[in-house]
Amino acid sequence: MAGRGGMAGLKQVQRQTGVALWRQIADRIREAISTGAYDETGMVPPETMLALQFGVNRHTVRSALAALAQEGIVRAVQGRGTLIERKERLNFPITRRTRFTAGIGDQAREMRGLLLDEAKEEASAEIARWLGLKPGEQVIRLETLRQADKRPVSRATSWFPAKRFAGIGAAYRAGESITKAFAELGLPDYVRATTEVTAAHASAADMADLELTPGAILLIAKAMNTDLEGMPVQYSISRFAADRVQFTIEN
Amino acid sequence: MAGRGGMAGLKQVQRQTGVALWRQIADRIREAISTGAYDETGMVPPETMLALQFGVNRHTVRSALAALAQEGIVRAVQGRGTLIERKERLNFPITRRTRFTAGIGDQAREMRGLLLDEAKEEASAEIARWLGLKPGEQVIRLETLRQADKRPVSRATSWFPAKRFAGIGAAYRAGESITKAFAELGLPDYVRATTEVTAAHASAADMADLELTPGAILLIAKAMNTDLEGMPVQYSISRFAADRVQFTIEN
DNA sequence: TATGGTTGTCTATATCAATAGACATTTTAA
DNA sequence: TTAAAATGTCTATTGATATAGACAACCATA
């Protein structure tokens, strides 16, 4: 028995599906780069070889490579080939002590957390349930963008009980981290209680914030943090650029 | 301050991106259905309204709805509207005692696990590392397809130490579950050690197995299970149809 | 310096995606 | 019975996608 699993064999791209061939090919090459398939040479195979491999015209491959060059992943050099510029995928551990900045701190030189927006609002039924509040109680919502080495990694919306964490927006803007903002407001430690992970296509807003192209994938983590007594302190929905991260769960 | 977060505002679909408008719209509507946006009526808004909302021609919306009908998510009825047929998303808890069948057992009537292929092979460096073997030692690889109510949910490739689990293919085929197969072979209990989660576009093979369309998203879980002494017993790569599942991590 | 291998550019053609408009068909409700 | 609202079908046109071929420009190396 054999024939399934692993090996290519099947046609790798499909026509008439609403997704252009050049985009399907770009997605496959991006994936191959991030898994280290071309590490030996540091280059993508020649256009003619890729065209043969995917069963398309060389021009179609060129469209795919142009898109990847636009993303800054490869750089074509006439006469030599197409060089790989960037291939990282940040690992993001999800544990009881999950922290964004510390979690990937050693995998990137510069971590930043930008506050895009802050608002005080009434808790919806869902937010209230997660934070252990009554619907309509005041919560503070923060819209944040997290970057690693100037490259956007995730876009998060977080809610906090307004009474307990007044001023968390300013604290976040100053420290660029939830952990530091909590510490500033008198909460030295907290733990991750639950995390729900899904995946979806990027919306237009996420494309803009995370510098993605249509068809791009998001890993979505809905998380609830509590203080050490088990009282909810934060509920957040984080949208990660899926080709830049992986989650690790250690049990 | 306001304006970000939540509300639409921006153009929801983009042109000249390699992803056809009708597919982008289909993805948005599928997502809206699964989050319960149309639960009040049980129907999708009229085609003319969707066309207005997305800023496209009615025919383009019709292409999107035709694709969703093809997937069995909606059903158009002339004169009435477009009815929502299915909107479930299975929850899959990832804990120390993660088991596929038990995990979603109460969310579906009929759970099945089909053995697609079985092979004995030499462990690659990566597989050997995960299973605590020397590269080249014999392992058994199982290719399985898991279904909930006859709908494919995930496609998994699993490796087991060949010496300890000879005959696991037959045991899986009989019991349609890893847990039962392990029990059959004298391992009554085991635990999930680590799980890595990523997302990617579906390959052609996955599209076929999971009945997906191009552009569809996979949630990929790479998991290692051990026996109660901490000895690795299984390494697996499971590819889930992202629009049918969510993962939950309880810390 | 010559050659082979590679990316860059151009022209031409066929197919798919998207818009536009008109009208038919079916259901629901006035 | 009628009208309104919804999906179904058809024709026509435009722009994006994909193929095909030819050749130029550039790089590394023999």
Residue A46 is given by DSSP the state: P
Flag whether residue B7 sits within 8 Å of chain A, measured between CB atoms: no
Is the CB of residue B164 inside 7 Å of nucleic acid strand D? no
CATH, range B90-249: 3.40.1410.10
Distances (CA, A) of B214 to A14, A23, A52, B245: 7, 11, 21, 18
Question: What's the rounded Cα separation, in Å, for the pair A129 and A111?
Answer: 32
Whether B206 and A162 have beta carbons less than 8 Å apart is answered as: no
What would the pLDDT profile of A201-233 be if each residue is shown by its tens digit? 887 788 889 988 767 889 999 999 999 999 999
Cβ atoms within 10 Å of B129's Cβ, excluding its own: 15
**How large is the C-alpha radius of gyration of chain A?**
21
Place of tokens 């319960």: B36
Cα distances (Å, whole numbers) of residue B185 to A97, A165, B138 = 37, 54, 17
Is residue B130 within 8 Å of residue B223, measured between CB atoms? no
Residues B196, A248: C-beta atoms closer than 8 Å: yes
> Counting Cβ atoms within 10 Å, is residue A75 exposed (0-12), middle (13-18) or buried (19+)?
middle
The listed CATH number (1.10.10.10, 2.40.50.140, 1.20.120.430, 1.20.120.450) that belongs to domain B21-84: 1.10.10.10
C-alpha angle with apex A215: A235 to A32, nearest 5 degrees? 100
Q: Which residues in chain A are contacts of B90 at CB distance < 8 A?
A: none
Taking only residues 32 to 51 of chain B, the set having a beta carbon closer than 8 angstroms to any beta carbon of chain A reads: none
pLDDT at B157: 96
User: Does A7 reach chain B within 8 Å, measured CB to CB?
Assistant: no
- Closest CA to C15 C1' — which residue? A16
Nearest residue to nucleotide C28, by CA–C1' distance, is B80
In this structure, the protein residues whose CB atom falls closer than 7 angstroms to any atom of nucleic acid strand C are A 15-18, 44, 46-49, 59, 62, 65, 76-82; B 15, 20-23, 55-57, 59-60, 63, 77-80
DSSP letters, A186-198, are T----EEEEEEEE
First-to-final CA distance of chain A:
35
Rounded to a whole number of angstroms, the distance from the CA of A174 to the nearest CA of chain B is 18
Domain boundaries, chain B: 21-84, 90-249
Write down the pLDDT at residue B213.
74
Please state, in angstroms and rounded to a whole number, the distance separating the CA atoms of residues A24 and B18.
Answer: 9
CA angle B24, B25, B31 (to 5 degrees): 95
DSSP E strands: which ranges in chain A?
Answer: 43-44, 74-77, 81-84, 90-94, 111-122, 138-148, 151-161, 191-201, 217-226, 232-241, 245-250
Question: Would you state the pLDDT for residue A113?
Answer: 92
Across the interface, whether the CB atoms of A18 and B22 are under 8 A apart is answered: yes
Q: Which of B157, B214, B217 sits opposite A19 (nearest CB)?
A: B214
- Left if phi > 0, otherwise alpha if psi is -120 to 50, otherwise beta: which for A102? alpha
A90-249 has the same fold as A21-84: no
A window 74-113, beta carbon within 8 A of B: 89, 94-96, 98
Tell me the mean pLDDT per 10 residues along chain B, length 251.
34 67 86 83 90 89 88 87 82 81 62 93 93 94 91 94 95 93 93 90 84 82 93 95 85 64
Residues of chain B positioned with their CB less than 8 A from the CB of A143: 4-5
Residues 194-233 of B with CB under 7 A from strand D: none
pLDDT computed for residue B67 by the predictor? 86
Closest CA of chain A from B83, distance in Å: 23
Q: Does A16 touch chain B (CB under 8 A)?
A: no
Residue type, A117: D
Chain A: residue whose CA lies nearest to B246: A198
User: Is A96 close to B251, i.e. CB distance below 8 A?
Assistant: yes
pLDDT at residue A8 in the model: 33
Residue nearest to nucleotide D19 (CA to C1'): A57
The pLDDT of residue A36: 80
Pairing outcome for strands A81-84 and A74-77:
antiparallel
Task: Tell me if chain A has a CB within 8 Å of the CB of B153.
Answer: no
Determine, for residues A249 and B94 on separate chains, whether the beta-carbon distance falls below 8 Å: yes
3-state SS, residue B52: helix
Nearest nucleotide, C1' to the C-alpha of B75? D7
Contacting residues of B for A11, CB less than 8 Å apart: 204
Segments of chain A scoring below 70 in pLDDT: 1-17, 88, 101-109, 214, 251
Burial grade of A139 (CB within 10 A; 0-12, 13-18, 19 or more):
buried
Record: contact B242-A10, CB cut-off 8 A = no
Residue A20 to residue B18, Cβ atoms within 8 A:
yes
Query: According to the model, what pLDDT value does residue B2 have?
Result: 35
How far apart (Å, rounded) are the C-alpha atoms in residues A205 and A201?
A: 11
Torsion of CA B195, B196, B198, B202, to 10 degrees: -60
The Cβ of residue B63 has, within 10 Å, a number of other Cβ atoms equal to 17
- Measure A87 CA to nearest chain B CA, in Å: 15
Residue B153 CA neighbour count, 13 Å, CB half: 27
- The three-state secondary structure class of A33 is helix
> Could you tell me the distance in Å between the CA of residue B74 and the C1' of nucleotide C20?
26
Where is A180: in which H helix or E strand?
A: helix A178-184
pLDDT at A7: 29
